[in-house]
Structure 1
Amino acid sequence: MFDALVIVTLVASGALAVFGLVETARGRPPGKPLAYAVYVAVGLLVVQAAIAAVRVFGGVQVPEPTTFLIYLLVSVCVLPIALQWANADPNRWGGAIVAAGAVGVAVAVLRLQGMWAVTGA
Structure 2
Amino acid sequence: MIGVLEIVAYVAAGAVALYGVVTTVRNRPPDRTHRLAVGAFEVILLVQAVIAAVRVFGGVQLPEQTTFLIYLLVSVCVMPIALQFATAEPTRWGGTVIAVGAIGTGVAVWRLHDLWVAGNG
How far apart, CA to CA, are the structure 2 residues paired with 1:52 and 1:44? Answer: 12
How far apart, CA to CA, are the structure 2 residues paired with 1:62 and 1:111? Answer: 13
The aligned counterpart of 1:47 is 47
| 2:62/2:120 contact within 8 Å kept | no
The aligned counterpart of 2:57 is 57
TM-score (norm 1): 0.98
How many pairs are equivalent? Answer: 121
Query: What is the DSSP-based 3-state SS (H/G/I as helix, E as strand, rest coil) of the residue aligned with 1:52?
Result: helix
The aligned counterpart of 1:18 is 18
TM-score (norm 2): 0.98
Write the letter of the residue equivalent to 2:70.
Answer: I
The aligned counterpart of 2:99 is 99
* In the alignment, structure 1 residue 31 sits paired with structure 2 residue 37: no
- Tell me, which stretches of 5 or more residues in structure 1 are unaligned? none
The aligned counterpart of 2:5 is 5
Write the letter of the residue equivalent to 1:63.
Answer: P
The aligned counterpart of 1:81 is 81
How far apart, CA to CA, are the structure 2 residues paired with 1:35 and 1:22? Answer: 15
How far apart, CA to CA, are the structure 1 residues paired with 2:45 and 2:35? Answer: 15
How far apart, CA to CA, are the structure 2 residues paired with 1:110 and 1:61? Answer: 19
Cα deviation for residue 119 of structure 1 reads 2.3
- Coordinate RMSD, CA, aligned: 0.8
- Tell me, which stretches of 5 or more residues in structure 2 are unaligned? none
Cα deviation for residue 111 of structure 1 reads 0.2
